[in-house]
Structure 1
Amino acid sequence: MKLEAAFNKLKEKGYKRTKQREKILEIFVAQDQYIAAKVILKEIQADFPGVSYDTIYRNLYLLSEEEILEATELGGEKHFRLSCDTHGHHHHFICTDCGKTKSIHFCPMERMNESLPGCQIENHKFEIYGKCPECS
């Protein structure tokens, strides 16, 4: 997702374009990987020394709720990344060291439906964790 597309999506929902949100999104646009909230806070504080951890987390969760960011758990900590531009249903391999991702265009739900007769599946998330070639 591009920066302007993200702000257009926020504007449609009635949210303002703030300098802090702009900086947060610029960080994600520059890095195609999952990033911990504490890393975002450290980078933001270079430009906004008084910004709190709560402010960063509120913005990260807002951006996630509006599907501008995706979230996952790595090492017991929430990490975020810009939502994919990949069209269509897909899943991800996530490097546990650097946070980089690779799209997987296979969905195991086709097999899972056979194992769950009578169940009404509402949603699912499938991620594979490991080390990318650069981190191995």
Structure 2
Amino acid sequence: MQTDEIIRMMSAQGLRITDQRKTLAKLFADTPGYQSPKDVYDYMGRSYAGLSFDTVYRNLRVLDELGVLEQVVFEDGVKFKLHCRGHDHHHHMICLQCGKTYPISYCPMDQTEVPDDFKVVKHKFEVFGYCKACSLEEESRA
């Protein structure tokens, strides 16, 4: 996804397009993989003196709620990346080393028995591991 496409999505959802949000859109358009809120804060802080961590985190959460970004909880905390576009509903296998993602082509919820007295409103399913390149790199270090 390109920066201008992200900005159009934000604008279509009623967000005011500030220079900070343009910079945030450019960061995610130019950076594959996942970014922690601290990574984003450090990047944004180089251009915007006095920027607060709360402002950065609030913008990340808003962009997640609008479907521009998606968030995943890793062992070391929450991280964000551009939301997948052009795919039907799917889940991911995620490399813990490089952040590369692989789509899971079916939804495990389809095989989950949900009790009659429970209403599912949303779900997430991620599988964590190592891609082939990162596995080979790790083996060569050992």
Fold-level similarity (TM above 0.5) = yes
Looking at structure 1, the residues matched to 49 and 75 of structure 2 have their Cα atoms a distance apart, in angstroms, of: 27
Once the two structures are TM-superposed, the CA of residue 117 in structure 1 deviates from its matched residue by 4.7
- Provide, for residues 95-115 of structure 1, a one-character-per-residue CA deviation record: whole Å limited to 9, x for no partner: 222222121112112211xx2
8 Å contact 1:95–1:130 — kept in the other structure? yes
Once the two structures are TM-superposed, the CA of residue 92 in structure 1 deviates from its matched residue by 0.6
State which drifts further: 64-73 or 16-25: 16-25
Task: Report the counterpart of residue 134 of structure 1 in structure 2.
Answer: 133
8 Å contact 2:34–2:79 — kept in the other structure? yes
Task: Report the counterpart of residue 121 of structure 1 in structure 2.
Answer: 120
Asked if residue 93 in structure 1 is aligned to residue 93 in structure 2, the reply is: yes
**Superposition TM-score, scaled by structure 2 size:** 0.84
Gap regions ≥5 residues in structure 1: none
Task: Report the counterpart of residue 73 of structure 1 in structure 2.
Answer: 73
- Provide, for residues 53-92 of structure 1, a one-character-per-residue CA deviation record: whole Å limited to 9, x for no partner: 1111011011111110000111241100001123211111
| Runs of 4 or more above 6 Å deviation | none
**In structure 2, the residue corresponding to 1:84 is in which secondary structure?**
coil
8 Å contact 1:95–1:101 — kept in the other structure? yes
Once the two structures are TM-superposed, the CA of residue 49 in structure 1 deviates from its matched residue by 2.8
Task: Report the counterpart of residue 59 of structure 1 in structure 2.
Answer: 59
Looking at structure 2, the residues matched to 108 and 29 of structure 1 have their Cα atoms a distance apart, in angstroms, of: 29
Higher relative contact order (CA 8 A, sep 6+): 1
Task: Report the counterpart of residue 19 of structure 1 in structure 2.
Answer: 19
The correspondence of residues 41-60 of structure 1 with structure 2, limited to 5 A, is: 41-60=41-60
Once the two structures are TM-superposed, the CA of residue 48 in structure 1 deviates from its matched residue by 1.4
- Aligned residues: CA RMSD: 1.6
